[in-house]
Amino acid sequence: MLHCGLCVKECLEYLRMEEEIKTIKVTIDNITIDVAPGTTILNAARQIGGDVTPPAMCYYSKLDGSGGKCRTCLVEVAAGSAADPRPMPKLVASCRTGVMDGMVVKNITSEKVTDARNGVVEFLLLNHPLDCPICDQAGECHLQDLGYEHGKEGTRYQFARRTFKKEDIGPYIQLHMTRCILCYRCTYVADQITQKRVHGVIDRGDHAAISTYISKAIDNDFSGNMIDVCPVGALTDKTFRFKNRVWFTKPVDAHRNCTTPGCCGKATLWLRGEEVFRVTARKDQWGEVQSFDGKPGWICNTCRFETKKTESWTVEGITTISRHSVIGLNKYKTLEMPKETVKAVMKGTDPKLLMDIHSVSGVNKPDTHLSELDRAAKSDDFKNN
Amino acid sequence: MQPLTNKIKQVDRKPMTFMEKLYLPAIFKGMTITFSHIFKKKPTINYPEKQRPFSPVFRGLQILNRDEEGRENCTACGLCAVACPAEAITMEAAERQQGEEHLYKEEKYAAKYEINMLRCIFCGLCEEACPKDAIYLSETFTPADYQRKQFIYSKDDLLIPHPKENPDAYQKALGNRPQKVSEN
């Protein structure tokens, strides 16, 4: 803004005008909503919520410039605006298209959209290995959800999937390039949250790969957030690698006083018994990092990878998990353990234990602490039990 | 009271006839039925000397499968454990190291795999859930035992014999049922 008196006057006038056209009307799948000008179709749909919201693999509301790459959020615009009600000739990426007053958008009500989305999912899965049984992301993977909803049962692709040489990108993050769908979210994280980006997408087309050039370790204090933004299992936590399946761990909200500037200190702990197996940022209903006081709650690597003791955290309560998610399966919805009733009823006599499972079982040994390992368990780690 | 169905039969409360009062004819009638069974074919068999053929859908003791080269199929994905309604299955995963490629098929494997046979209800959901062809319910009964601790089956108890090192035992463990043709 320039600072001559005239400009300020004009500016004020413009702002007053802005205030007058406060909201614009947009209809998505026959639901009309008033949104602020400049909102994208995707964000307008998110304000409505539910099934109307298009899925997004690359768009991330907390990262500037993200979106427009994966094409899963394609929608049909049946009427461009009230002034010009002609439909848009092609399906548009809803994450990159702004709404106009009187716009009519079709998402799940349009057959064209469902059809296109099925095609996009098929394309995304062309090169994506079906190694969900091995992948640590399984259970909270966006591509898995998307494939479940839109995917075909078999593949029509007859060629070998692309493979890459394994690359070590540091002690904390495991890169599986074969699983990458090139959403670029991790590069935006490195650009916008960390001061220095040492990785990016190298080469083009089929060879395009996330890589550090030339073999560098990503060691920024906030690099761990790349794991959270990755929609697939391309970037996973090395300290959690193969420790347990996500759905067998219990997520709880916790916080600690983190001294790292920029770290919000609010996290989700993934517990197994009393052990902290994994720490992630808290996620909102869109699978994105939650905002606290308008600021995205990114957490630092100290919180994420090095604070794996329950004592270091103040547990707030159970994380709410969507009831459609496998993660919520077979869990008590409270932190309090159910009380032993036998002793109370039997006037202080302990129940007769017919077999102590830990004396027979080699699994979940009380004296083995997997959370203390900063890597995946090896065969030697289980030698003793 | 209004009867709910028309199946009600009034009990016959007539006094017994002379023949009925004698009892003996009814006893002889009963005994003939009993003795006639001596000459009929016996429906029981002498287990375990004789064994009945298993039905093709019989669900018995679990086995952990290996591939043709003898590598373990299981990747400890946990789908059997999450599918198990009795929560009988537990496991612990580990990463395959250099030089272990001949032992395990995939990068990740089950370092520990346990089925608590006291809990198992042989529903076969683990077999259904398995994406890696790794667990099957075989044509074997779980052997009886005197102690509870013998029913915690670990990987040593569950793994199918090695197809190359122990081909006879492997063939025997495969059973007589038609094999499912693998898609890969």
pLDDT digits (tens, 9 = 90+) for A130-164: 899 999 999 999 999 999 999 888 888 889 999 99
* Kind plus residue range of the DSSP H or E element containing A113: helix A111-126
Residue A221 domain-assigned (yes or no): yes
A359 min Cα distance to partner chain B (Å): 9
Nearest CA in chain B to A328: B82
- What pLDDT was estimated at residue A2? 43
B3 min Cα distance to partner chain A (Å): 46
Please give the share of chain A, as a percent, with pLDDT higher than 70.
94
Nearest CA in chain A to B108: A134
**Mean pLDDT of the A331-335 span:** 83
**Mean pLDDT of the A242-270 span:** 93
Structural domain including A110 reads 15-121
Q: What is the pLDDT of residues A286-311, one digit of tens each?
A: 999 999 998 999 999 999 999 999 99
Residue B30 domain-assigned (yes or no): no
Tokens of A206: 């089929």
In one-letter notation, the amino acid at residue A369 is H
Residue B145 domain-assigned (yes or no): yes
A247 to B78: CB separation less than 8 angstroms, yes or no: yes
- Which of these three, A121, A153, A188, is where a domain ends? A121
Across A161-175, A236-250, A334-348, least confident range:
A334-348
Based on the domain organization, do A185 and A214 belong to the same domain? Answer: yes
- B129 inside 8 A of chain A by CB: no
Tokens of A167: 């690359």
- B101 inside 8 A of chain A by CB: no
* Contact (Cβ atoms closer than 8 angstroms) between residue A180 and residue A200: no
Residue B156 domain-assigned (yes or no): yes
CA distance A360 to A295: 50
Please give the share of chain A, as a percent, with pLDDT higher than 90.
63
Q: What is the interface size between A and B, counted as CB pairs within 8 Å?
A: 86
State the pLDDT confidence band at A1, using cuts at 50, 70 and 90: very low
Q: What is the pLDDT of residues B79-115, one digit of tens each?
A: 999 999 999 999 999 999 999 999 999 999 999 999 9
A243 min Cα distance to partner chain B (Å): 6
- B75 inside 8 A of chain A by CB: yes
B180 min Cα distance to partner chain A (Å): 18
Q: What is the pLDDT of residues B126-173, one digit of tens each?
A: 999 999 999 999 888 888 999 999 999 999 999 999 999 999 999 888
**Domain of residue A23, CATH code:** 3.10.20.740
Nearest CA in chain B to A359: B149
- What pLDDT was estimated at residue B52? 84
State the pLDDT confidence band at A21, using cuts at 50, 70 and 90: low
- B76 inside 8 A of chain A by CB: yes
Across A133-147, A225-239, A329-343, least confident range:
A329-343
CA distance A347 to A46: 57
Alpha helices in A21-141 (DSSP H): 41-48, 111-126
Nearest to B111 among A131, A355, A379 (CB): A379
Pick among B103, B112, B117, B184 to test the A interface (most A CBs inside 10 A) = B112
CA distance A331 to A318: 10
- Residue B10: pLDDT over 80: yes
- What pLDDT was estimated at residue A333? 83
Nearest to B94 among A247, A363, A377 (CB): A377
State the pLDDT confidence band at A7, using cuts at 50, 70 and 90: low
ipTM above 0.85?
A: no
Nearest CA in chain A to B81: A248
Residue A336 domain-assigned (yes or no): yes
A272 min Cα distance to partner chain B (Å): 12
Nearest CA in chain A to B129: A133
Residue B14 domain-assigned (yes or no): no
Residue A359 domain-assigned (yes or no): no
Based on the domain organization, do A213 and A251 belong to the same domain? Answer: no
B131 to A382: CB separation less than 8 angstroms, yes or no: no
CA distance A160 to A230: 24
β-pairing, B135-137 vs A173-175, is unpaired
- Residue B76: pLDDT over 90: yes
Spell out which residues of chain A touch residue B100, defining contact as CB-CB under 8 Å: 379
Q: What is the pTM of this model?
A: 0.84
Q: What is the layout of strands, in order, in the sheet containing A92-93? A: A31-35, A24-28, A103-106, A74-79, A92-93
The residues that bridge with A200 in the sheet, in sequence order, are A211
Structural domain including B135 reads 62-174
- B174 inside 8 A of chain A by CB: no
Q: Is the peptide bond before B48 cis (omega within 30 degrees of 0)?
A: yes
- What pLDDT was estimated at residue A30? 94
The domain total for chain A is 3
Largest CA distance in chain B: 93
Q: What is the pLDDT of residues A30-46, one digit of tens each?
A: 999 999 999 999 999 99
Based on the domain organization, do A238 and A248 belong to the same domain? Answer: no
**Mean pLDDT of the A53-81 span:** 94
Most confidently predicted of A75-79, A319-323, B135-139 = A75-79
- Which of these three, A198, A217, A242, is where a domain ends? A242
- What pLDDT was estimated at residue B160? 94
**Domain of residue B91, CATH code:** 3.30.70.3270
Spell out which residues of chain B touch residue A357, defining contact as CB-CB under 8 Å: 116, 152
Nearest to A133 among B77, B90, B114 (CB): B77
* Contact (Cβ atoms closer than 8 angstroms) between residue A270 and residue A251: yes
Tell me the Ramachandran region of residue A273: left when phi exceeds 0, alpha when psi lies from -120 to 50, beta otherwise. Answer: left
- B133 inside 8 A of chain A by CB: no
The domain total for chain B is 1
Nearest to B92 among A138, A241, A363 (CB): A363
- Residue A197: pLDDT over 80: yes
Residues of chain A whose beta carbon is less than 8 angstroms from a beta carbon of chain B are 131-134, 138, 241-245, 247-248, 326, 329-330, 354-355, 357, 359-364, 370, 375-379, 381-382, 385
CA distance A374 to A238: 7
Based on the domain organization, do A224 and A137 belong to the same domain? Answer: yes
Nearest to B114 among A132, A363, A377 (CB): A363
CA distance B92 to A75: 44
CA distance B102 to B163: 13
